């Protein structure tokens, strides 16, 4: 439809696609896209439209960042996760065998067009996975969004239009505010990574069989628990977070046994790690994150991790 619209306006456009899924988020796909762009006579005045989920957004955005040293791109996200999170903020990346999102660039899209009706065809599991990021926004930044989700979890799950609009617009506003305050993640932007240190490690350990949002949900349970054990967050609120995740159909545990040493090993690839020290971001109360000396990223030693993870990985 998009292609037809462009052609009717006499705008030269071509469709380039690649197989769906995280396994396509790599440099081979970028190379494939670059070849196709060259075949189709793309130059520095051309633009890419990333029409698809987070994988298309990340790969399309990264290709736009590096093709001829950077061309513009537009995000048209078609999954809930991409509409509430990955299409906004200009982080683009591909994975390498050693870890997720290791090769990437900050490259802001010129526009982001969000149409919630695109979600009608989205499979249930993908839809639920996207809700994890919305819960995350509630925990890290917006208590009223968190409470809205508690009150309206059924409407959200049945994709009622008003509920969808509310969670999508709230999420975009929150992400925009945080990214504008700290575009290159010098401090506050790291709070968007709540639950993601574990999530990225779990995704990798699972061989990318679990969905990103599912891993984020389990990751928020893990990070939240570390926050409780470090004395930053109350057990009651941690339980409340987990109840909300569950009511939305999100998992709290992986469906395989996770070895804590393997998890810790994988934490080292996290981009928040500094000088081999593993860093986490932690809730202080629902709607607000913990800081120490004004810094959101808080170091956790391997000893602490070994101690605390035992309680939460069963
Ligand atoms: N750049 C960022 O800031 C950022 C933030 C969060 C996540 N991410 C990345 O996003 C990726 C996950 O994105 P995702 O969850 O959108 O997964 P995805 O892009 O793999 O899409 C999930 C599946 O849904 C299908 N699909 C997409 N839109 C559809 C629709 N409207 N109807 C039916 N099917 C549809 C896709 O073909 C795919 O099979 C991960 O790689 C993650 O690292 C990036």
Q: Kindly state whether residues 252 and 146 are assigned to the same domain.
A: yes
**What atom in ligand 1 is closest to the CA of residue 21?**
20
Sign (positive or negative) of CA dihedral 126, 140, 175, 105: negative
Grade residue 314 by pLDDT with cuts at 50, 70 and 90: low
In a domain, 213, yes or no: yes
Q: Which residues line ligand 1 (CB under 6 A)?
A: 20-22, 25, 52-56, 58, 78-79, 81-82, 85-86, 89, 91, 101, 118, 121-122, 126, 129, 212
Q: Whose CA is nearest to atom 39 of ligand 1?
A: 20
Q: Over range 272-298, report the average pLDDT.
A: 92
Same domain, 163 and 282: yes
Q: Quick check: 139 pLDDT over 70? A: yes
Based on the fold, state whether residues 68 and 131 are members of the same structural domain: no
| Active-site residue, 288 included | no
Instruction: State how far the Cα of 50 lies from the Cα of 57, in Å rounded to an integer.
Output: 5
Residue 175 to residues 25, 31, 137, 180, 183: CA-CA distances in angstroms?
Answer: 23, 30, 8, 8, 11
Q: Which of 136, 166, 196, 272 is catalytic?
A: 196
Residues 243-284 have pLDDT tens digits of 999 999 999 999 988 888 899 998 887 766 777 789 999 999
The model's pLDDT over 98-122, given as tens digits with 9 standing for 90+, comes to: 888 899 999 999 999 999 999 999 9
Q: Grade residue 1 by pLDDT with cuts at 50, 70 and 90.
A: confident
Residue 174 domain-assigned? yes
Tell me how many domains the chain contains. Answer: 2
Take residue 145 and report the two structure tokens written for it: 């969004």
The Å distance, Cα 20 to ligand 1 centre, comes to 9
Whether residue 107 is found in the same domain as residue 164: no
Q: Domain check: are 174 and 284 in the same one?
A: yes
| Residue pair 248/128 in contact by the 8 Å Cβ criterion | yes
Q: How far apart are CA 63 and CA 65, in angstroms?
A: 5
Q: Do residues 208 and 248 share a domain?
A: yes
176 annotated active-site: no
Choosing from 118, 153, 174, the residue where a domain stops is 118
* Residue minimizing CA distance to atom 27 of ligand 1: 53
Nearest to 203 by CA among 194, 214, 192: 214
pLDDT of 141: 98
Per-residue 3-state assignment (H helix, E strand, C coil) for 138-157: HHHCCHHHHHHHHHCHHHHH
Structure tokens at 110: 């010129």
193 catalytic, yes or no?
Answer: yes
pLDDT band at 312 (very low <50, low <70, confident <90, very high): confident
Residues 24 and 60 in one domain: yes
Last residue of a domain, one of 118, 152, 178: 118
Contact in structure between 283 and 289 (CB atoms under 8 Å): yes
- d(CA 208, ligand 1 centre) in Å: 13
Co-location of 185 and 261 in the same domain: yes
Of 136, 153, 212, 271, the catalytic one is 212
Domain that holds residue 64: 2-118
Same-domain pairing of 152 and 295: yes
Residues 106 and 196 in one domain: no
Residue nearest to atom 12 of ligand 1 (CA): 54
**CATH code, domain with 16:** 3.40.50.1970
| C-alpha–C-alpha distance, residues 293 and 274, integer Å | 17
Examine residue 314 and state whether it is found in any structural domain, yes or no. Answer: no
Q: What separation in Å is there between the alpha carbon of 230 and the centre of ligand 1?
A: 33
**CATH number (domain holding residue 243):** 1.20.1090.10
Q: Which of 133, 203, 214, 237 is catalytic?
A: 133
Most ligand 1 atoms within 8 A of CB, residue of 126, 135, 203 to mutate: 126
Nearest to 164 by CA among 172, 154, 156: 156
* 127 and 262 assigned to the same domain: yes
Q: What are 140-199's pLDDT values in tens digits?
A: 999 999 999 999 999 999 999 999 999 999 999 999 999 999 998 999 999 999 999 999
Q: Is 26 a catalytic residue?
A: no
Residue 210 resides in a domain: yes
Residue in 69, 184, 257, 276 annotated catalytic: 69
The pair of structure tokens assigned to 290 is 């913990």
CB atoms within 10 A of CB 115: 10
107 is catalytic: no
Last residue of a domain, one of 66, 100, 118: 118
Catalytic residue among 25, 100, 136, 193: 193
Residue ID of nearest Cα to ligand 1 atom 3: 86
What percentage of the chain carries pLDDT values higher than 90?
Answer: 85
Residues 129 and 113 in one domain: no
89: in domain: yes
Residue whose C-alpha is closest to residue 188's, from 141, 222, 237: 141
Q: What is the DSSP string of the chain?
A: -HHHHHHHTT----------SGGG-SHHHHHHHHHHHHHTT--TT--EEEEESHHHHHHHHHHHHHGGG---EEEEE-SHHIIIIITSS-EEEEEETTEEEEEEEE---SEE---GGGGGGS-HHHHHHHHHHHHHHHHHT-HHHHHHHHHTHHHHHTT-HHHHHHHHHHHHHHHHHHHHH-TT-SSGGGGGGTTHHHHHHHHHHTTT-S-HHHHHHHHHHHHHHHHHHTTSS-HHHHHHHHHHHHHTT--SS-SSPPPHHHHHHHHTT-TT-BTTBEEE--EEETTEE--BTTBS-EEE-HHHHHHHHTTT--
| Ligand 1 midpoint to CA 215 (Å) | 14
Interatomic CA distance for residues 190 and 196, integer angstroms: 10
Strands 48-52 and 73-77, by their bridges, are parallel
For 279, the token pair is: 């860093």
Classify residue 182: in a domain, yes or no. Answer: yes
């Amino acid at each position: 439809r998009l292609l037809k619209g462009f052609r009717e306006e006499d705008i030269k456009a071509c469709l380039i696609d690649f197989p769906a899924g995280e396994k396509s988020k790599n440099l081979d796909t970028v190379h494939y896209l670059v070849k196709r762009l060259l075949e189709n006579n793309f130059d520095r005045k051309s633009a890419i439209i990333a029409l698809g989920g987070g994988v298309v957004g990340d790969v399309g955005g990264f290709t736009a960042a590096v093709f001829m040293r950077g061309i513009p791109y537009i995000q048209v996200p078609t999954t809930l996760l991409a509409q509430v999170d990955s299409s906004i903020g200009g982080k683009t990346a591909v994975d390498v065998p050693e870890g997720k999102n290791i090769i990437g660039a900050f490259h802001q899209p010129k526009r982001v067009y969000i149409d919630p009706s695109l979600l009608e065809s989205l499979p249930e599991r993908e839809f639920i996975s996207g809700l994890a990021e919305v819960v995350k926004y509630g925990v890290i930044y917006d208590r009223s969004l968190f409470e809205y989700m508690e009150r309206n979890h059924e409407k959200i799950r049945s994709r009622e239009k008003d509920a969808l609009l509310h969670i999508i617009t709230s999420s975009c506003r929150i992400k925009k505010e945080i990214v504008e305050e700290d575009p290159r993640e010098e401090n506050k932007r790291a709070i968007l990574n709540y639950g993601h240190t574990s999530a990225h490690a779990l995704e990798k350990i699972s061989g990318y069989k679990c969905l990103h949002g599912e891993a984020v949900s389990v990751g928020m349970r893990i990070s939240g628990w570390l926050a409780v054990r470090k004395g930053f967050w109350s057990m009651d609120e941690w339980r409340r977070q987990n109840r909300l995740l569950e009511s939305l159909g999100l998992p709290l545990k992986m469906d395989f046994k996770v070895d804590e040493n393997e998890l810790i090993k994988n934490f080292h690839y996290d981009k928040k790690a500094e000088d081999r020290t593993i860093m986490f971001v932690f809730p202080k109360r629902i709607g607000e994150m913990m800081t120490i000396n004004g810094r959101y990223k808080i170091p956790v030693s391997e000893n602490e991790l070994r101690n605390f993870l035992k309680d939460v990985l069963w």
